[in-house]
Amino acid sequence: GAGVSQSPRYKVTKRGQDVALRCDPISGHVSLYWYRQALGQGPEFLTYFNYEAQQDKSGLPNDRFSAERPEGSISTLTIQRTEQRDSAMYRCASSSRQGRAGYTFGSGTRLTVV
């Protein structure tokens, strides 16, 4: 596609529910990144993939968070048993090759846990 596409754009869920956030990167982009941005803060790194391999998940806050990119294209970030503190903007970005810094961010998914 022309840009990085994320869905849903907005998600409101009840505490304790699982959510899955989807990222469709720019076609052909090797690297895919997930970030989380709390209100009034800068984005914080969660995890990233090269092709289908998860290279670094050091930013995932706890084991309720997981991500996959099974075919090296679309990625899903899953949050299990959501808590109110998970409320944030979740952003995905992709780049053509690791080391080619300056990637393109998607519009994000605004998650609200009530």
Partner 1 sequence: AQKVTQAQTEISVVEKEDVTLDCVYETRDTTYYLFWYKQPPSGELVFLIRRNSFDEQNEISGRYSWNFQKSTSSFNFTITASQVVDSAVYFCALSDPNTDKLIFGTGTRLQVFP
Q: Cα(33)–Cα(90) distance, rounded to whole angstroms?
A: 11
CB of 5 vs partner 1, minimal distance in Å: 12
Partner residues linked to 6 by β-bridges: 23
Is position 25 an interface residue for partner 1 (rule: CB under 8 A)?
no
**Would you call 68 exposed, middle or buried from its count of C-beta atoms within 10 A (0-12, 13-18, 19+)?**
middle
Q: Which of positions 54-83 make contact with partner 1 (CB under 8 A)? A: 55-56, 59
Between 18 and 56, whose beta carbon lies closer to partner 1?
56
Q: Cα(50)–Cα(96) distance, rounded to whole angstroms?
A: 10
Residues that bind partner 1 (CB under 8 A): 31, 33, 35, 40-45, 48, 55-56, 59, 89, 91, 95, 98-105, 107-108, 110
